[in-house]
Amino acid sequence: MIKENVQKIFKEIPEDVLLVAAVKSRSINEIKEAVDAGVKIIGENYLQETEKLFPYIEHIVKWHYIGSIQKKKIKKIVKIFDMIETVDSVDVLREIDERAKGVDKIMPVLIEVNSGREEQKSGVYPEQVERLVNAAAPFKNVLIQGLMTMGPFADDPEKLRPYFKLTKELFDFLKARETKNVQMKYLSMGMSDSYKIAIQEGANIVRIGTLIFGPRHDR
Ligand SMILES: *Cc1c(COP(=O)(O)O)cnc(C)c1O
């Protein structure tokens, strides 16, 4: 089933849109099946899980960190991952910069936008994104490559459209102001129920779990 699911998604999304398979709480065999079916990027929320998967599939895929960031884990996250999609503070940027310097790496990151302005959610409020991006100027080992957003919980994915639109506008605004370590290239929006709408609104990374692996048996 996983193989068919992946193939179906690849058929539906345009070629220039990247599929990130969100694999939290899935087994190694499930993930391998997705990789065999052509998945090139794995999105992980948990560092520990990633370390378990690593020996099996490290080099065949790229790894995106899509979970919430704890400062003490940044050292390992920087070492392992090819992109961090969930950056939302100067403190985190500074720590990433320092750790990336330590391993001689330029760390690609996306800024997570709290497009629904929900207090309990991670991400930067839309009007604060420009300031955060500007604050990254001295961090030579960080490369800001775009924005990511989840949007608020919605029973109907169509309700997410305004939040995707808003994030795209922000993306275009920042793209016109690119600096040395800011290259607005990726817009990561849309999950299993909303990726089609997200792509219509300009997403070029979609993060999909349930539609590939089925309903989650959460821990
Ligand atoms: C789990 C997760 C997804 C995928 O969600 P599905 O609804 O299962 O497709 C996407 N992005 C993030 C940040 C996630 O944690």
Q: State whether the beta carbon of 209 lies less than 6 angstroms from ligand 1.
A: yes
Ligand 1 centre to CA of 179 (Å) is 30
Distance 140 CA to ligand 1 centre (A): 30
CATH of 2-213, one of 3.20.20.10, 3.40.50.2000, 3.30.43.10, 3.90.226.10: 3.20.20.10
What's the whole-model pTM score? 0.96
Q: Give every CB contact of residue 179 below 8 A, 6+ residues apart in sequence.
A: 137
Protein residue with its CA nearest to atom 13 in ligand 1: 66
- Does 179 sit in the ligand 1 pocket, CB within 6 Å? no
Q: What is the pLDDT of residues 8-52, one digit of tens each?
A: 999 999 999 999 999 999 999 999 999 999 999 999 999 998 988
The residue whose CB lies within 8 Å of the most ligand 1 atoms, and thus the one to mutate among 205, 207, 210, 211, is 207
Task: Give start and end residues of each alpha helix (H) in the chain.
Answer: 2-12, 28-36, 47-57, 74-80, 90-102, 129-135, 161-175, 195-200, 210-213
Per-residue pLDDT of the chain (219 residues; tens, 9 = 90+): 999 999 999 999 999 999 999 999 999 999 999 999 999 999 999 999 898 888 888 778 999 999 999 999 999 999 999 999 999 999 999 999 999 999 999 999 999 999 999 999 999 999 999 999 999 999 999 999 999 999 998 999 999 999 999 999 999 999 999 888 999 999 999 999 999 999 999 999 999 999 999 997 654
Q: How far is the CA of 207 from the centre of ligand 1 (A)?
A: 6
